[in-house]
Amino acid sequence: MLNVEVLGGVGEYGRNCFYIEVDGQAILLDCGIMKNAQKTPPKLTAAHVEKLVAVFISHSHIDHVGALPIAERLGYAGPIVMSEMTQCQLKQCYRNTHIFYEDSIGEWVPINDYLAFKWGYSGHVIGSVWYQIRFIDKMIFYSGDYVVDTYVLQATLPQDNVIYDIALIDSGHVEKHVDNQAVLQQIAQFVQTYPQQPIIFPSSFSGKTLDIATYLFKHTARPIYVEQQLQALFQQYIAVGQNMKSEKAISTPFWIPMEDVEDGLYFIAEQSDIYYPQAITVYTGYLKKEDTYPHFFYKTHPDYEDIVKLSKQICAKQVIYFHSTFPVQLEGYSESRK
Ligand SMILES: [Zn+2]
Ligand SMILES: [Zn+2]
């Protein structure tokens, strides 16, 4: 018997945590907290943890890993499965991490006699993955946070024609219709309109930041500066192999130490207090209503068209869409296809 409990992440943006129980044994897909002041945890209890045999982590963002200390406090000591790069990015260590490496891509990786997984890249950040999970007699697909049209990172999907018992699909930008390639072109045009002014991009630790920086490096002559807090992202970018689209990737560093110059393009962490009064700030994510900054929305999750595409490619008896406050209503599809 399959029992799925959403412990967070459906109808909200954050605390992604999905509990899947089959015949009295359970797994957890991600274990995140809300990115709010209260850091709202998922609805994970000791009763859930008691049945857990594995926790699968899709990537290192706080809305996917922030509640791992809570799982440990509730007594969880089993394997915490994640990619090598995800482990590198975590701020703290966990007791029993089960790391997989690039060479296992596309292969069944066993956890025990009745639990095994395949993985592939999801394009959202370096080391972010989707999982195909075989759990007793059930097949599960978990997209993690997924970006369909990335510029530098690879995003793949399982190649076998499996009918999943359940699929969990990222619907983070379901209310949007965005062509990432066109947005990159618009940003480059905007930058060229202001040749003599520094431009700041408030940026997150994500594939989006790599996409925009790489595109501007290749399509403008402006020097690119990366703030200390984001240096690790760019260093990993050079270090990883397979996770990049080979035709787009950069093999040598193209960013320079911070310096206040007139024609610089600055990639600055979102909460950073570095501030150039003379600079233009360009936002590429969600804006608050009152904000009037130059704005070019770039996807870090699937938009409506991407969700339609993913829902066709992943054949499942039941689908749970997560990572959005908006419901998913696809034409020709119902939310749950039992
Ligand atoms: Zn994320
Ligand atoms: Zn997320």
Structure confidence at residue 270 (pLDDT): 83
Ligand 2 center–CA 25 separation, angstroms: 26
Ligand 1 center–CA 267 separation, angstroms: 18
Longest alpha-carbon distance in the chain = 64
Q: What's the CA gap between 320 and 127, in Å, rounded?
A: 23
* pLDDT tens for each residue of 39-55: 999 999 999 999 999 99
Structure confidence at residue 252 (pLDDT): 83
Q: Which ligand is nearest to the CA of 35?
A: 2
* pLDDT tens for each residue of 186-201: 999 999 999 989 999 9
Ligand 1 center–CA 63 separation, angstroms: 7
Instruction: Identify the CATH number of the domain defined by range 2-175+301-322.
Output: 3.60.15.10
Q: What's the CA gap between 247 and 238, in Å, rounded?
A: 14
Rounded to whole angstroms, what are the CA distances from 158 to 27, 245, 311, 315?
20, 17, 13, 11
Q: Which ligand is nearest to the CA of 126?
A: 1
Give alpha helix (H) positions in 173-303. Answer: 180-193, 207-219, 228-239
Q: What's the CA gap between 172 and 184, in Å, rounded?
A: 20
Question: Which ranges of the chain have pLDDT less than 50?
Answer: 335-338
Structure confidence at residue 273 (pLDDT): 59
Q: State both tokens at 147.
A: 């970006």
Ligand 2 center–CA 171 separation, angstroms: 10
Ligand 1 center–CA 144 separation, angstroms: 8
Place of tokens 């990786």: 109
Q: Are 78 and 53 in contact (CB under 8 A)?
A: yes
Q: Which residues contact 38 (CB under 8 A, 6 or more apart)?
A: none
Domain ranges of the chain: 2-175+301-322, 180-281
Ligand 2 center–CA 227 separation, angstroms: 23
Structure confidence at residue 262 (pLDDT): 78
Neighbours of 159 (CB within 10 A): 10
Rounded to whole angstroms, what are the CA distances from 335 to 51, 166, 322, 331?
28, 12, 11, 10
Ligand 2 center–CA 168 separation, angstroms: 13
Residue 83, φ and ψ in degrees, nearest 5: -75, 160
Q: Of 266, 268, 207, 209, whose CA–CA distance to 240 is shortest?
A: 207
Ligand 1 center–CA 205 separation, angstroms: 9
Q: Of 50, 51, 48, 53, whose CA–CA distance to 17 is shortest?
A: 48
Q: Of 218, 301, 298, 300, whose CA–CA distance to 254 is shortest?
A: 218
Ligand 1 center–CA 294 separation, angstroms: 24
For β-strands 17-22 and 2-8, DSSP reports them as: antiparallel
Q: Are 148 and 123 in contact (CB under 8 A)?
A: yes
Ligand 2 center–CA 260 separation, angstroms: 33
Structure confidence at residue 293 (pLDDT): 75
Q: Which ligand is nearest to the CA of 122?
A: 1
pTM of the model: 0.94
Ligand 2 center–CA 145 separation, angstroms: 6
Place of tokens 């193209």: 254
Structure confidence at residue 255 (pLDDT): 84
Q: Which ligand is nearest to the CA of 86?
A: 1
Ligand 2 center–CA 46 separation, angstroms: 24
